Amino acid sequence: MRLIINSLNQMINAQKTGANTVVCLHSKVLEEIFKILTNEGYIRGFFKEEDGKVIKCYILLKYVDDKPSIRNMKFESRPGFKSFIKWKDLTKPFNGLGISIISTNKGIMTNEQAFCNRVGGQRLFRIY
């Protein structure tokens, strides 16, 4: 969980400074999150590179009209607190402008995918 929070904070801080890429450590969970963010249009993409025994992820940040595509992010779960949600209680965050990333027993998915599959889980963060 700390790796996810640190990597996403690096993305937010890099976008505030106008950077094009961010380098972070690789994990399977982060890879799934980056796939979702790429499909939803929040980042341009990512790729991983093996450097000896360490695998690093390079995230290509996206800007729209010279403004960061990620405006705000709110972490729902932290290492000391986990926020779980039922599929019936899933709503669109920020009046439909954003997405929630949820860790379910069927993998990591957005709030809309979880609602369609009728699964709940741990809400990791909301982004818009």
Report whether 127 contacts 42 (CB < 8 A). Answer: yes
Averaged pLDDT score across all residues of the chain: 91
Q: The whole model's pTM is what?
A: 0.89
Q: What is the pLDDT of residue 46?
A: 95
Taking residue 63's Cβ as centre, other Cβ atoms within 10 Å add up to 13
pLDDT above 90: residue 35: yes
| CA–CA distances in Å: residue 45 to residues 14, 41, 55, 90 | 15, 9, 17, 27
Q: Between these two residues, 115 and 94, which has the higher pLDDT value?
A: 115
DSSP assignment of 48-90: EEEETTEEEEEEEE-EETTEES---EEE--BTTB--EE-GGG-
pLDDT above 90: residue 72: no
- pLDDT bucket at 22, cuts 50 / 70 / 90: very high
pLDDT above 90: residue 43: yes
Segment 53-64 mean pLDDT: 93
- In order of their start, the domains of the chain are 2-68 (3.30.1370.30), 73-127 (3.30.1490.10)
